[in-house]
Structure 1
Amino acid sequence: MDIAASVERAIKRLNSVIVDRPRAIIILFVLLTVVLAGGLTSVGMGQGGLDAFTEGLPAQNALDEVNQNFQQPFEPDTETTQLIRTDDNVLTKESLIREVRVLEEINSRSDLWMDTASGPSTLIAKQLNPSASTPTEYRQTLERASPTEIRQTVRELKDNPRFTGSLANDFNPTSVSASASITTVSHTLPKSYGSDELTTVQTEIQSIVKQAPLDMRAFGSGTTESEIRQSMTDSLSLVMPIVILLLLFFLVVAYRDPIDVVLGLIALVMTIIWTFGFIGYAGIPFSQQMISVPVLLLAVGVDFGIHIINRYREETERGFEGIEAMRAANGQLMVAFIIVTVTAVFGFGANIISSLPPIKNLGIASAMGIIFTYLIFGLFLPAAKLVTDDLRARVGVPEFNSKPIASDESALGRALAFPAQVSQYAPTVIVAGLLLSGAVMGAYGSGVGTSFENEDFLPPEDLPDYVEMLPAQLSPGEYTITETMNLLNDKFGQGDSVKIYLEGNFQEDHALEAMAAADDNPPDPLAVGSGGQAETQSIITVLKSHANQNPEFAALVARNDQNDNGIPDQNLERVYDVLFASSASGQAKQYLTEDRRTAQVVYTVDADATQSEVSTAAASLADRFPMKATATGNTVVLAAVMDLIFQSAIQGLAIAVVLTAAFLVLVYGLLERKPLLGVVNVFPILVSLALLLGTMRYLGMSLNALTSTILSISVGVGIAYSVHTTHRFIDEYDRATGAHEAMMVTLTGTGGALFGSMLTTTLGTGALALAITPLLKNFGVLIALSVTYSFLMSIIALPPAVLLWERIRQWGPKSLARLRPAAD
């Protein structure tokens, strides 16, 4: 069976349906658009920030267990709001009373569901009056107390971890001063409430705080999620109008006909409706990464639209009438469109293999969007063009400009064909030079870093200057989250640490000895203590500290310490009972649960060690414990995500390149009997990727939650330029006298469409650089660079590679013919 003939017949039948029954095609696509538009109402906002990437990771699960099982001085969760204060001294009587008045107002609102509050003011009031339990009683207690009594109470609480943990690092119990404090408000929300309701509660608290006569701000998961969503909305509101204006401008330049421009815009809108309708029906959440999807689809859609309209005009210039011109243009482009669509699906869809849900969802959405783009621009747009041209002829609407973008007589056509003109003299040297340059840039770019930080997702503390020049309709809202997090880090931040989460029976003899033995000869990133020892906090450090302060407890420990090293190794149940009943109970509960089945050990980390080094050291240390041990902590979790990001980037790139190359070799082999052209087709994109990686490292950009997808996406977007050029070359090669002549005709014709597509795509996707969040900014810059490199390589690297292909193709049969007589 002749596969090429079968494919050709199938394409002719599909093409006949488009050109012979265009109105039926239009009606079908309009109906499909109405159906898919129903899914737009189901598009929901997904979890933003780091949480969307860390959910389900073993290290994150262990960290969640730690936060749930052990008391923390300050540990926010989904049902708390933190009130963060700054002042010259937050521990004066007047300052404490003003803080409690804010709590009173929050408590008076039933819709804020306040349950309890814990902070310096409440803890001091409770110490003064143990019966006080409401904000009003706290205020009355503080008002009755003298400044001297308050200062004395602060000194009494200086060893209380909940009290000291709610004060800034500069807390001085001697002078009774601190420059910042945190008061945690707990909410008892109805079971039917979710994150949206919590956001509403925290937004209302933020409004109350703003009206208070003190420097205070509300902070919590709801406000964080709210600002991340707001930044997404603001980014879309800022970027999309600019993208649309740029696309409209270049559509006008490329089409130079208002009716064709309108058709192109309709097709673009349909593409967005189809894609986001699918997202809604599929239940895929809309995240920050998804903002790149409409921009990418608009870019690819414009590419398809320019090619079909430009090729149609080329055929009409040759004298064909509308239907026959479209039949010829569509017949030639349909195979190229299918190849581009399949390779783009490989590039975009390669991200589906990622184990990180946001990246996987981006791969699914963009891959489906590319398929929709092909259907709309490959089937609907040609049909709509025929119908509107027919209607225009009957009504008598004149044509404005139906010339192709470039020709061999135009300056643009000659400029685009110049690399092909040069290539004929030394194609081998040029290809070798490109290979060498690509290898150097690739080697340099292999050192590109990986990052995963809160700052990637959050709006910057200081918005760019251009934002202030925007009209009120486009001006973004007020962002406080980054400033608040910086304040928390400056005032309350501790040195980096990792945690080992332990599960077992800690009442068994030698359980504590085994815990301490794991610290012998710690890995370098954890050897920060004197003499290269580990610096830890655990139930052992609490036990030793209390023994130093309490002679009776010290005697109990000594009686049960067989090797006299200060760590009891028998009768641990009794030791724990006494410890947990003492004044050190609060500290003990930070490191050992009351059922004595789980514990945590906190290790201080070398400040100069990288996240990867710390994570490796923590995992190595966890293996030393005889009980079940899991390395966790923010540093370990972020390092785990960074590893997955890098893994996703490399695997996605490998899958995209291998599948694309195999598909192109197969297609050109089956359809054209020229399989080696598939390899030639991939050559420009490989050089482009090397240039992109080198540029990323030079600009100091790293592979993060979104830019990690850029490598595989670059294959999907960039291969289109090589495919269109190669496919047109094949058509011209069969009519021309050689590869050079065919390539000259190709670049003066298809090259013009490629140039127009490159401009629209580069500026359209580059508009993401104006987004609010750094995540989208860098992605916009990189995708614009990727498209530019892909276009340049399609006209610089492809011509000499094609000339070499022709020499190899001609050399084979001739050499065999010369060798055959000698063999005989």
Structure 2
Amino acid sequence: MSSPFEWLADRVAAVTANHDLLVIVVALLLTGVAGAGLVNLDMADQTAIDDGVFNATEVGDGLQYLDRHYMDGQDTAVSSVYVRPEGNALSRSSLAATLAYQEAVLDNATVASELRGERIQGPPTLIGTHLAGANASVAKQRAAIEEATDAQLREAIRATLGDPVVAGRYLPAGYEPGSATAESMRTQFTFAVASVTQQQEPLPDERAQTALYEAATDRPAVFTMGTVAQADWSEQQIADVFLLVVPPALVLVVAVLAFAYRDLVDVLLGFTGVCVSLVWFFGILGWLGIPAGFASIVGPVLIVALSIDFGLHVFMRHRERRAASADGADTGVRPAMRRSTASVMVAFLLVAVTAAVGFLANITNPVGFIRAFGIVITLGVLAAVFVFVTLVPALKVRVDTMLESRGVDRRKTALGTSGSLKPLLGSGVTLARRGALVVVVVALVVGGAGLLTYDELDRQGFQQSFVTEDDWQTDLPGPVGWSAHETEFRQNQQYVQSNFRSDDDRERRTTFLIRGDVTDPRALEAVHRGTQAAKESPMTFEQGGEVSVISPLSLAVDTAVDDEAFAALLAGVAADDDRLDGLLSSVAAENPAFAERMAATTPADVEGDLGLVYDALYDANDQTGVVLERRAGGYESMRLVIPVEQGLDVDERGQEMHAIADEMETDAYDVVPVDFATVANAGLGEIADSIIWTMGLAFAGIALVLAATYRIERGSATLGIVTVVPIVLVVGAVFASMALLGLSLTFITAFLVSITIGLGIDYNIHVSDRFAHELADGAEPVEALSTTVTGTGGALLGSALTSSAAFATLLVHPSVVFQSFGFIVVVALVLSFVVSVLVFPSMLLVWARASRPTR
């Protein structure tokens, strides 16, 4: 008696084989409905990450503490406009031209209505208001600059741009504060927040950004860096990816399909099924309203890989069926298609369900696009199953019947059932027959050792890289050569990143939070060590050769230089504290102005600790609350804020900030570096580490599904458990390969493990289902294995070659992320195939002998 699954598969296969034209029409109509979702396709990235994963880390806790106890909230969005003329950016003509640009922009109603707070700030505004008055209009500022004498203009520049902090905000790193010469400058427009990116970056109204961009297009010296400006760069990147990756992928896939099928008609039919599956995939994205982003690149490759696999199994099993009957009773196109489709349909459904379990294991992942991708790829796989058990077999029946009616013999040999491939594929059976238990034990040891290398993998939050003219992809001829790095936006971006502090507060600084008894001089000693380490770091931003840090110590030093009374108080407290006195002596050795002030100051006759100094600092300097937390009359924490270069590698920046924190750390104080890089790395490190839970969930779910299905279909739950074991070994081998090649474990590569599981289990299911089917037909275990690996193994070989070829093309992509993706999936596919035909037969033979001792 057949199982419910087999009965259903036979009914569907019968309809497909006997009513092929009807099936083709219905399938194409449904494809049209699915494809209608393409009009709603959103190509935006979806990278939102749940806050909880960050908050659970030490750095995330530090960020929450800063948000609660320090006033750093950002309720405005800044858009920067850069001026880079041929000559001096601070010349009279350049300043006046920039103010003329501002006048033109202010004529836009959206810009005028959305401006907030300081509205427009930059060298022209600072200099113009210095000359014309604080409330002067832009027109009056421009007139004042044009009418000022050279001496007056130089004095205004010195007065407004002599402060390194101000200069660092608006002028490039090479600018000497107070100098009348600069190669470029930046003006900042402060707008209301209209939206927030998934990276929590506040953005102004897009119409305001567009107005800034368009007003700069006819001014060669002026450019912007907003989302509107980068549109051309983004489009060119997409075009470069398409031209660089897709052509070789198509060539490789078609070449391998030609080798596997050795028949043009079958290649075209299989390729048609792949294309229809892609229409379903993108249509599903559109109908569900899920932004494509990452899925638009990775998803199609996955669907292509599985579609090719399904097609190979349908066609190769059909070839086997047509060649199986010597009496000719079952060699017709339709009967053979009915039996072959029915025989593979259960395996297809199992592949779809188990792949879905593997992908949906990411449903708890805090990364938004990974959760969405798991859902979409699951639906895409189910759609591919539908296409290859209905439309493709029906097309095959229709075409082969038509050709044979015209005298064309459509009998073909299945890959692996003859020629030199047959003994090669059968080597796994030979190993199983000679020493199955030994093969299993060795495989378990090797795979287990690979799993242990997981702890040795380097954890990183991001793998980030930009293409430069040094990359080999840029040297390729014609349209395939990478050219996005040559766009005006990318050239401007490189200049800004190399010369300016970031205009995003999250990127331009790092805060070191110090909690404990901050009235103890040891806290200020820690700040001093951190300041020294920051000044020596290659990642901190220098303005005129100086690194402008801000901390309670720097404020106390600056206030003492300007305020004699405060200096006396500071000296008086230090007189009774040797540790504080030693610290001030060290600072004086580095700061001549402070040394001169303290040498000329008579210490006040006071009793108290640093709390007394902090009280006075709060009264004397309104910046104190930025770096010193006072609650209920006491002091709970302090912080050191350092400027950081922009455009840095996220992981390298995070590591450097932690290294500076280590210089400050003591047993008495907890020092946490908080910036977007350390927060991201901590949270994404947690995500990468969650891979173990994802794997466990995926393996448990797949094992449960296979055990239940095989119990119903084949009467043995243990066969389902055995089918999962090889993919566990493959995952271990992938980890070992990553460790050997020094690949880091990121939240992207962690996600790839679920893809490895989803694709790899496909091979094992096809082998175990075919093996069980042969046993059910009365074959001995070794005979059943031989039939399985030479028949199904041939289709698996073709699938592994084509899928690997498709993913291997990602290795030519200049991004480290895509290179890692391509490498890991190729390794996983190759290992999955090797294990399925060399190791898995031994496992199946051991299982068969244990569960069928009489055979």
Q: CA deviation at 1:799?
A: 2.0
| CA distance in structure 1 between the aligned counterparts of 2:529 and 2:463, rounded to whole angstroms | 27
Matched, 1:549 2:549: no
Matched, 1:340 2:355: no
Q: CA deviation at 1:481?
A: 6.2
Q: Among 34, 45, 48, which residue is 1:36 paired with?
A: 34
Distance 1:794 1:185, change over 3 A: same
Q: Among 294, 317, 320, which residue is 1:314 paired with?
A: 320
Secondary structure, in 3 states, of the residue corresponding to 1:355? coil
Structure 2 counterpart of 1:122: 125
Secondary structure, in 3 states, of the residue corresponding to 2:177? coil
Secondary structure, in 3 states, of the residue corresponding to 1:220? coil
| CA distance in structure 2 between the aligned counterparts of 1:519 and 1:663, rounded to whole angstroms | 63
| CA distance in structure 2 between the aligned counterparts of 1:51 and 1:143, rounded to whole angstroms | 49
Structure 2 counterpart of 1:299: 305
Within 5 Å, give how 1:87-126 maps onto structure 2. 91=90, 96=95, 116-126=119-129
* Contact 1:54–1:60, Cα closer than 8 Å, also in 2: no
Q: Greater CA deviation, 351-360 or 97-106? A: 97-106
* Contact 1:33–1:270, Cα closer than 8 Å, also in 2: yes
* Contact 1:84–1:181, Cα closer than 8 Å, also in 2: yes
Q: CA deviation at 1:412?
A: 1.5
* Contact 2:706–2:721, Cα closer than 8 Å, also in 1: yes
Q: Greater CA deviation, 430-439 or 144-153? A: 144-153
Matched, 1:266 2:311: no
Distance 1:525 1:262, change over 3 A: farther
Secondary structure, in 3 states, of the residue corresponding to 1:183? strand
Distance 1:774 1:712, change over 3 A: same
| CA distance in structure 2 between the aligned counterparts of 1:780 and 1:464, rounded to whole angstroms | 18
Distance 1:809 1:57, change over 3 A: closer
TM-score, structure 1 normalization: 0.80
Task: Look up the equivalent residue of 1:40 and give its one-letter code.
Answer: L
Q: CA deviation at 1:66?
A: 6.2
Secondary structure, in 3 states, of the residue corresponding to 2:701? helix
Secondary structure, in 3 states, of the residue corresponding to 1:455? coil
Distance 1:524 1:372, change over 3 A: farther
Secondary structure, in 3 states, of the residue corresponding to 1:375? helix
Structure 2 counterpart of 1:184: 188
Structure 2 counterpart of 1:425: 434
Q: CA deviation at 1:618?
A: 13
Structure 2 counterpart of 1:819: none
Distance 1:619 1:155, change over 3 A: closer
Q: Deviations over 1:362-382 (max 9, x none)?
A: 111111111111111122222
Distance 1:705 1:45, change over 3 A: farther
* Contact 1:528–1:604, Cα closer than 8 Å, also in 2: no
| Unmatched tracts of structure 1, length 5 or more | 503-512, 815-824
Structure 2 counterpart of 1:9: 7
Within 5 Å, give how 1:373-388 maps onto structure 2. 373-388=384-399
Secondary structure, in 3 states, of the residue corresponding to 2:3? helix
Q: Deviations over 1:777-802 (max 9, x none)?
A: 32122212211111111112112222
Within 5 Å, give how 1:16-27 maps onto structure 2. 16-27=14-25
* Contact 2:308–2:802, Cα closer than 8 Å, also in 1: yes
* Contact 1:561–1:570, Cα closer than 8 Å, also in 2: no
Matched, 1:414 2:414: no
Structure 2 counterpart of 1:646: 688
Give the fraction of aligned pairs with identical amino acids, expressed as a percent: 22
Structure 2 counterpart of 1:499: 511
Q: Among 165, 171, 176, which residue is 2:169 paired with?
A: 165
Q: CA deviation at 1:144?
A: 3.9
Q: Deviations over 1:177-219 (max 9, x none)?
A: 666543324467999998764664465366346x23xxx6532
Structure 1 counterpart of 2:588: none
Q: Greater CA deviation, 24-33 or 802-811? A: 802-811
Structure 1 counterpart of 2:450: 441
Q: Greater CA deviation, 541-550 or 472-481? A: 472-481
Structure 1 counterpart of 2:255: 249
Task: Look up the equivalent residue of 2:39 and give its one-letter code.
Answer: T
Q: Greater CA deviation, 682-691 or 645-654? A: 645-654
Q: CA deviation at 1:683?
A: 2.7
Task: Look up the equivalent residue of 1:204 and give its one-letter code.
Answer: E
Distance 1:387 1:810, change over 3 A: closer
Secondary structure, in 3 states, of the residue corresponding to 1:80? strand
| CA distance in structure 2 between the aligned counterparts of 1:122 and 1:20, rounded to whole angstroms | 80
* Contact 2:277–2:387, Cα closer than 8 Å, also in 1: yes
Matched, 1:469 2:490: no
* Contact 2:444–2:729, Cα closer than 8 Å, also in 1: yes
| Unmatched tracts of structure 2, length 5 or more | 197-202, 535-547, 574-603, 645-651
Task: Look up the equivalent residue of 1:36 and give its one-letter code.
Answer: A
Q: CA deviation at 1:302?
A: 0.6
Structure 2 counterpart of 1:820: none
| CA distance in structure 1 between the aligned counterparts of 2:823 and 2:195, rounded to whole angstroms | 44
Distance 1:373 1:208, change over 3 A: same
Q: Among 608, 611, 614, which residue is 1:564 paired with?
A: 608
* Contact 1:619–1:630, Cα closer than 8 Å, also in 2: no
TM-score, structure 2 normalization: 0.77
Q: CA deviation at 1:360?
A: 1.0
Structure 2 counterpart of 1:326: 337
| CA distance in structure 2 between the aligned counterparts of 1:524 and 1:655, rounded to whole angstroms | 45
| CA distance in structure 2 between the aligned counterparts of 1:67 and 1:153, rounded to whole angstroms | 39
Structure 1 counterpart of 2:362: 351
Structure 2 counterpart of 1:610: 655
Structure 1 counterpart of 2:414: 404
Structure 1 counterpart of 2:581: none
Distance 1:800 1:26, change over 3 A: same
Matched, 1:455 2:453: no
Q: CA deviation at 1:306?
A: 0.9
| CA distance in structure 1 between the aligned counterparts of 2:698 and 2:749, rounded to whole angstroms | 16
Secondary structure, in 3 states, of the residue corresponding to 2:34? helix
Distance 1:501 1:373, change over 3 A: farther
Q: Greater CA deviation, 371-380 or 112-121? A: 112-121
* Contact 1:107–1:135, Cα closer than 8 Å, also in 2: no
* Contact 2:322–2:333, Cα closer than 8 Å, also in 1: yes
Q: CA deviation at 1:413?
A: 1.8
Distance 1:176 1:184, change over 3 A: same
Report how many aligned residue pairs link the two structures: 777
* Contact 2:129–2:141, Cα closer than 8 Å, also in 1: yes
Q: Deviations over 1:662-706 (max 9, x none)?
A: 222332333223333333322321222122112222223223343
| CA distance in structure 2 between the aligned counterparts of 1:774 and 1:444, rounded to whole angstroms | 22
| CA distance in structure 1 between the aligned counterparts of 2:180 and 2:247, rounded to whole angstroms | 55
| CA distance in structure 2 between the aligned counterparts of 1:747 and 1:222, rounded to whole angstroms | 56
Matched, 1:80 2:79: yes
Distance 1:292 1:284, change over 3 A: same
Secondary structure, in 3 states, of the residue corresponding to 1:182? strand
* Contact 1:528–1:605, Cα closer than 8 Å, also in 2: no
